A and B are shown apart, each in its own frame.
Chain A
């Protein structure tokens, strides 16, 4: 029910002389990738339900520059960063939330050196905070007792030491959280980081997402939870490759919550 979603833009609020509590940085995947758009919408529905005052940049948002930087194109990265920072500073943005750990990492760690100083949080952190503040209530009924394994996105986990927020949310759903053999600081990459998402892998014995999917399948989960649009794609492809897509779903934490809340 897209029409029910309220998605104000910074430009609209600015014109009305308003300032939102937080900027939702949607990211390229969240804006254009069909699978990731569902995550975006799930998150927006939660924000709407919790009456969070937020806005998006919409057509004023541009790639954070992360894939360019990891590919070695520092020049393009900084051009993107400086452009985005100009836009965000013009709107006097203080706090940013994003559903993409790559955008999260770059905005949080690499933008300050270029003049972009914001409090940047990942949506799992933000959701956990909403929960703690009692702004959303989660009834886990739907997922009660379901076996869920969580795949740590490298740029959320190892890169920024966020391990517990997504896990706490899964536990709040009354689900049974099962850990893979490589998890948390020793989590195995899905294979998409460092701009790999946009190229064919080098020659090897196996694709990385298959290796990771095998680790996930070892836990015999009903759901593989992800917290990154790229990880989501890689794990979804892995599950399809293993012909398990009818039994095992790959879902973002935001989707789990929206689903539990019947949003």
Chain B
């Protein structure tokens, strides 16, 4: 019976980790439904981007208020994880504050955890106020009603509760240390939780131990639950921001990918020696589909983008189309992509690993033509994204499908393209008149 709590702890830990690993596996499988892209180039630049943008949060502080609050929560999250390491070792070995022997270093560590926990609490409360009291415009968009709104708040509540449990645990521990309770060695300084001690005043060691243990258990179980909540929430960015900034677009933002399949065809058309009646080569395979109408047509990086999006809405708040009341919202493009990808993933799970056509697709069932045609390709969204997500590339791929597979461009654009084809300009002017301006006064 002596080891019962160690065993229970180990069990909870294993269940938490196994369940999380299962979801990670599913996440990777879903991302691999996308097309492979070569992202093996320019590794030094990619690492630099990751360090600068994800680790260094450089794009977050473009907007100083949420940027700084976010850094507090982010640093708190990373540093407090050191404390979680101690909790896990204690839980497994049945020890109490195993790192206490570090002495002064331990005091400093615990003190900094406490201060960070306090700052996280303040930041989380301010974040909540921004979402629910000030009601910032970008959190009030149509795509943010229902689950996305609740999800955002839920994450704030979980973080708040976890930090409060952490401080409660420390306060009770501190009081027990002063009472000289067995096992509760004097260790750590408690700059924040010392202010909670008066609440615990007069409680027996027995009660304090119950409070301390309860807070300890709820804290670690809470962390494991939060870890497993990630996959179902918009909060995956805490992990995926790193690979996403690594795989993000390099080079000028204005450079769009040239479609290789089209290049092959164009070359063939321009080749005077090509035989138009030649039978396709044996190994030619099925002609590929141009552009994207569903998530499987997108690249793996684009699908990773969708899972990384934390729905902050900076893209949408900078989008000229959205600012002027059009339906397009780059954030919604990412949310739709993820929702559809999840739907496809569940379909595969339910059909023994095979996708069974469900009569739905990303285009039409999630993203409308109207949204796609409202984009000015201005790159405001990609510039605004703090984690290098590229909604514009998805919009462009879907336009390619609309135009090259469905000939479904707005009629004005069809006229424009007809003009280019016929006379080499988007307007109906004769190419032979291209230099007329020279002689006009």
Do A and B pair up? The answer is yes
Q: Are A188 and B320 touching (Cβ within 8 A)?
A: yes
Task: State which size class the interface on B falls in.
Answer: 35 or more
A191–chain B nearest beta-carbon distance, Å: 6
- Give the chain B neighbours of A199 by CB distance below 8 A: 373, 410, 412-413, 416
Contacts of B398 in A (CB 8 A): 72
The interface residues of chain B, by DSSP majority, are classed as helix
* A65 adjacent to chain B (CB < 8 Å): yes
B281 on the A face (CB < 8 A)? no
For B147, list chain A residues within 8 Å (CB): none
Contact call A207/B425, Cβ cutoff below 8 A: no
B378 on interface, CB distance cutoff 8 Å: yes
Contact residues of B between 328 and 375, Cβ < 8 Å to A: 328, 370, 373-375
Measured between alpha carbons, how far is A100 from B380 in the docked complex, in Å? 20
If A158-B253, A186-B380, A201-B326 touch, whether A72 touches B439 (CB-CB below 8 Å) is no
Q: Would B426 and A67 count as touching, CB distance under 8 A?
A: yes
Chain B 263-280 residues near chain A, CB threshold 8 A: 263, 265-267, 269-270
Q: Is the CB of A189 within 8 A of B325?
A: no
Do A154 and B376 form a contact, CB below 8 Å, given A32-B425, A73-B403, A76-B421?
yes
Contact assessment for B318 and A31 in the assembled complex, using a CB-CB cutoff below 8 Å:
no
CB distance from A4 to the nearest CB of B (A): 10
In contact, A9 and B435 (Cβ under 8 angstroms) = yes
Determine the distance from Cα of A250 to Cα of B414 in the docked complex, in whole angstroms.
30
Which one, A2, A7, A192, contacts B376 given CB within 8 A? A192
Is there a chain A Cβ closer than 8 Å to B420's Cβ?
A: yes
Chain A 57-70 per-residue mask, 1 if CB under 8 angstroms from chain B, else 0: 01101110101111
A contacts with B, residue count (CB < 8 A): 73
Q: Are A58 and B434 closer than 8 Å at their CB atoms?
A: yes
Given contacts A205-B325, A208-B324, contact A158 B378 (CB under 8 A): yes
The 0/1 profile, CB within 8 Å of A marked 1, for residues 375-396 of chain B is 1111110011000000000001
Contact of B400 among A72, A80, A110 (CB under 8 A): A72
> 1/0 contact trace for A1-45 toward B, CB 8 Å?
111010101000000000000000010101111000100110000
Measured CB to CB, the closest approach of chain A to B252, in angstroms, equals 5
Q: Is the CB of B426 within 8 A of A28?
A: yes
**A74, B409: Cβ atoms closer than 8 Å:** no
* Closest chain A residue, CB of each to CB of B409: A71
A185 CB within 8 Å of chain B: yes
User: Shortest Cβ distance from A124 into chain B, in angstroms?
Assistant: 15
Q: Does the CB pair B254–A26 fall under 8 Å?
A: no
Q: Does B290 contact A (CB under 8 A)?
A: yes
- Please state if B399 and A75 are interface contacts (CB–CB under 8 Å): no
Indicate whether B404 reaches chain A with its CB closer than 8 angstroms.
Answer: yes
Which residues in A have their C-beta under 8 angstroms from that of B258?
74, 78, 110, 113-114
Q: How far is the CB of A85 from chain B (nearest CB, A)?
A: 10
- B residues less than 8 Å from A114 (CB atoms): 258, 263
B262 touches A195 (CB 8 A): no
Contact across chains for B256 and A78 when beta carbons are under 8 A apart: no
A72 CA to B395 CA, complexed, in Å: 9
Contacts of B145 in A (CB 8 A): none
What are the interface flags for A109-121 relative to B under an 8 Å C-beta threshold, 1 for contact and 0 otherwise? Answer: 1100110000000
Seen from chain B, the residues whose Cβ lies within 8 Å of a Cβ on chain A are 251-256, 258-259, 262-263, 265-267, 269-270, 290-291, 318, 320-321, 323-328, 370, 373-380, 383-384, 396, 398-404, 409-410, 412-413, 415-417, 420-421, 424-427, 429, 431-441
**3 shortest interchain CB distances as A-B pairs:** A159-B254, A194-B377, A72-B399
**Other A-B pairs beyond A72-B400, A105-B254, 13, CB < 8 Å:** A3-B441, A28-B425, A32-B427, A37-B440, A62-B431, A63-B420, A63-B425, A75-B265, A108-B252, A186-B318, A191-B376, A199-B413, A202-B321
